[in-house]
Amino acid sequence: MPSSAIRPLRLAGRLLAAAAAVVGLAALFLALLIATDGAGSGFAAWSVAVGIAVVAAMWLTRGRSWRARLVPFLPVLVAAALTLSVCIPTVPTTRHHPSALSFVATEHWRLSTGSRVAVYHYPPAGNSSRQRVPLVYLNGGPVRGISVLDHRFLQRLAGRGYDVYAYEQAGGGRSDLLPMNEYSITRSVHDLGAFVSKLGKGPADVLGFSSGAVVLTRALAEPAIADHLHRAVIAEPGPMDGPTARMAEQKGRPSARGIAPAMTGPRSTRVPRYAVAFGLMRLGLLSPDNGLVGQAEGDNAFTAADLGSDTASAYCARDAHRIPVEDTERNFSFSAAASLRIQQTIKDSPSIVPQLRRSRTPAMLMIAECSSQVRQWQTTVLADNLAIQRTQYMPGVGHHMWNGLDENDQRAASVITAFLQDKPAPLPDYPTRADIPAFLRDHK
């Protein structure tokens, strides 16, 4: 073979070998990162990986000229620089809370559980008659700030005469962080009980949405807390316990996931450090309390665009190209690590069915037509909570049932207030417990 043809082949071979060395060192770094649970912001794994690579390069080039010995160090330097980017924070490592909202004051309450939570109050407004029972809102997340879209809906409820209180659960929004090992579904339930007690207005109506509905469902299974609840609205719940979380999955009508335009804005997952950290946490390869990215730094880094596909899944496919902006960049807050920790405690929890069946608090279940939640999560609550008096199947909406589109907010408010006032339901009572088999079989 002519030498002119050999040279390109040799060059290609060297480039492939160098690329393989870079990939191999990166893989070694990731393996060590997982093994050390990100200790020392990842520097422990990085130091060992680079040290092994340097020793290997020196051993492979022993006996060669000094120039020849430098060549294998080039891929080591490239890999070291790439992996080093995973170890260097690009946002503050102390918590920066969202700035104050212009339309509602933020109070901070210290609960008897030790949690310090951000509280928002919307007094009764409008011309509607004043309701004597306060209404408490539990948002989804699990550890997420209350969106501007939700605040607007709370204002609508206040306009119907309700004295509305909402608080961001510990670690979310403007609430204080907890040590990672203190986040659990049990703590969230006890925080709800402590909040209603601190409110000091007697039994309260509670509206729980998504993971907030899980907190509410489990509170109904604890008599000491349920005794302080007047009526409960369980809207689009997630899994209530470990057995429910492991059920077969069936979704509602098609959502906008995968067909909605990509959400614009900065993404932490485009930064190597946070892409690696959040990715490995989601896969369960790093613990929520890992040493790579601390809780405060992770909260500061996570953006609304990082939840793009999850946001789209909360809307019907027909609304894919008109999904509203749910929140502002200044108000958005989500703790991926704390949320994963709480979700894991739900998966690890035993069945609450025996306790839930003894609940006597009047309750209503709300289910969205295009729900991204697993249907069995919802129908299990319906089957096992005998105090559920009605179910409202919300047509034309996804998981986020009050979303500012069309008449969705007005319909959701009418459904909620009719139940809280013990008035006839605006929609058919569907599905009932007897309807569950057919409801699942027909993929409603």
DSSP letter (8 states) at residue 141: S
Strand partners of residue 366: 235, 392
**309 domain residue, yes or no:** no
pLDDT of 52: 87
417, 233 Cβ separation under 8 angstroms: no
Q: Is the peptide bond before 142 cis (omega within 30 degrees of 0)?
A: yes
Scanning the structure block, which residue is given the tokens 């997982």? 34
In a domain, 270, yes or no: no
Phi, psi of 167 (to 5 degrees): -135, 145
Ranges of beta strands (E only) in 266-324 are none
φ, ψ dihedrals at 379, nearest 5°:
-70, -25
Q: Is 100 helix (H, G, I), strand (E, B) or coil?
A: coil
For residue 424, is pLDDT > 60? yes
Average pLDDT, integer, range 371-375: 92
The arithmetic mean of pLDDT across residues 3-31, rounded, is 69
Residues 249 and 351 in one domain: yes
Q: Max Cα separation, the chain?
A: 95
Instruction: For residue 398, tell me if it sits in a domain.
Output: yes
Tokens 């279940």 correspond to 365
Are 143 and 244 part of one and the same domain?
Answer: yes
**pLDDT the model gives residue 105:** 97
Give the residue from 379, 352, 391 showing the smallest Cα distance to 221: 352
**In one letter, which amino acid is 319?**
D
In a domain, 289, yes or no: no
| Number of domains into which the chain is organized | 2
Q: Say yes or no: 143 and 188 in one domain.
A: yes
pLDDT reported for residue 209: 98
Inside any domain, residue 226: yes
- Shared domain for 211 and 117, answered yes or no, is yes
Q: Encode pLDDT of 23-52 as tens digits.
A: 888 899 999 999 999 999 999 999 998 888
Question: Are both 64 and 172 inside the same structural domain?
Answer: no
pLDDT at 76: 78
Q: How far apart are CA 51 and CA 76, in angstroms?
A: 10
If asked whether residues 67 and 166 sit together in one domain, one would say no
CATH number for the domain that contains residue 378:
3.40.50.1820
**pLDDT confidence band for 443 (50 / 70 / 90):** confident
pTM: 0.92
What pLDDT score does 20 carry? 73
Final residue of a structural domain among 69, 84, 99: 84
The answer to whether residues 36 and 163 belong to one domain is no
N-to-C CA span, the chain: 69
Show the domain range for 46: 3-84
Closest CA to 332 of 372, 304, 374, 360: 304
- Whether residue 185 is contained in a domain is answered as yes
- Contact in structure between 357 and 390 (CB atoms under 8 Å): no
Same domain, 57 and 132: no
As a whole-number percent, the residues of the chain with pLDDT over 70 amount to 92
Question: Where residue 337 falls among pLDDT bands split at 50, 70, 90?
Answer: very high
CA distances from residue 293 to 83, 145, 256, 298, 378 in whole angstroms, order as listed: 15, 20, 31, 6, 34
Q: What angle do CA 327, 328, 332 make, to 5 degrees?
A: 75
Please give the pLDDT value at position 293.
96
Contact between 392 and 257 (Cβ < 8 Å)? no
| Residues 60, 144 share a domain | no
Supply the DSSP string of 315-369, one letter for each residue: SBGGGTT-----S-TTT--B-HHHHHHHHHHHHTSPP-HHHHTT--S-EEEEEEE
Rg (CA), the chain: 26
Instruction: Determine, yes or no, domain membership for 281.
Output: no
Domain boundary among the residues 51, 84, 117 is at 84
Sheet holding 116-122, edge to edge: 107-110, 116-122, 164-168, 135-138, 204-209, 229-235, 363-370, 388-398
Could you tell me if 77 and 120 lie in one domain?
no
7 lies in the same domain as 63? yes
Question: Domain ends where: 27, 53, 84?
Answer: 84
Backbone dihedral region for residue 437 (phi beyond 0: left; psi -120 to 50: alpha; all else: beta): alpha
Rounded distance, CA 369 to CA 316, Å?
Answer: 8
The answer to whether residues 354 and 246 belong to one domain is yes
Question: Is 324 contained in some domain?
Answer: yes
CB neighbourhood size of 401 (10 A)? 26
